[in-house]
Chains A and B, each alone.
Chain A
Amino acid sequence: MALDQSFVGRTYPPTEPYEVGREKIREFAEAVGDANPAYTDTEAAKALGHPDVIAPPTFVFSITFKAAGEVVEDPQLGLDYSRVVHGDQRFAYVRPVRAGDRLTVTSTIEAIKSMAGNDILDIRGEVHDEAGEHVVTAWTKLVARAAEEA
């Protein structure tokens, strides 16, 4: 079933702040096998000009995708999440996410398309820090595959 086009442009309220912990960054860096010292060593991060350890580029997805869950699970939108696959992902960074950040995400539905029975949903997540400064924008394209004929 095609999704309701009137949801295009809808913006959801900002999330509660997510506090970025240095041990969470370390856990993520270890999980992707990345030994870059900027993720774990404050002095190494400072030598690169950062005030504290920074997070790997894709770390913020865990935060924006959780926020996008509000869109995905909006009963009025009616997306069948069991059929959803991740189509595209893109980030534009103002600065890297770093330990101690308290980040909020504001999600907006940018586009809804229907192609060959698949529903395609583009969600933009604007990430801001506690001071209200823009940190990064994440664009997530989700594809809900067409249901098989019964």
Chain B
Amino acid sequence: MTAKVTYSDVEVGTELPARSFPVNRATLVRYAGASGDFNPIHWNEKFAKEVGLPDVIAHGMFTMAEAIRVVTDWIGDPGAVVEYGVRFTRPVVVPNDDHGAVIEVSGKVAAKLDDNTVRVDLTATSAGQKVLGMSRAVVRLA
């Protein structure tokens, strides 16, 4: 495993390049197929509203998959991720319009740990609201 970021080059507070990830209904249908999660709250507006949601929402695991890209794009080698966890605090609501939704993700180094590993804390928002809580990854740097 060969991260392109060196442990000695990062400090607590080092910011990772932030990213924006657009998501629309087609994205969700595609993710449903690839992941095998066909829960209708992710593609059927009528069903979503019947169970009390404002509209179709993104798969939490889709948001989790996007958020870690800030880390894996930074280090280059996705195999250098040692731990990754999130709390799903709010749904990403995806309207059926020309825009869909956008998931904004930023991250910074929160702690330097043993064995060349660091903890990165991620922030993910959509429509100005935090959608993930306790979003943390531990990665092994070079």
Contacts and interface: CB of A to CB of B under 8 A. Distances in A.
Nearest to B41: A85
Interface stretch (A4-12, A57-65, A111-119, A122-130): A57-65
Contacts of B83: 90-93
A54 B77 CA distance: 10
A111 to B, nearest CB: 15
Interface of A: 24, 27-28, 30-34, 36, 38-39, 47-50, 54, 56-58, 61-62, 65-66, 85-93, 95-96, 139
A62 B36 contact: yes
A32 B31 contact: yes
B7 interface: no
Given A58-B65, A90-B84, A91-B85, 19 more contacts: A24-B34, A28-B34, A31-B31, A31-B34, A32-B66, A32-B69, A33-B27, A34-B69, A36-B73, A38-B78, A39-B78, A47-B2, A56-B68, A57-B81, A88-B85, A89-B85, A89-B88, A91-B84, A96-B81
Main secondary structure of the interface of A (DSSP, over half): mixed
Contact of A38 (B60, B77, B88): B77
A126 to B, nearest CB: 15
Interface residues of B, number: 34
9 A-B pairs closest in CB distance = A90-B85, A31-B34, A96-B79, A32-B65, A58-B65, A48-B77, A28-B34, A31-B30, A31-B31
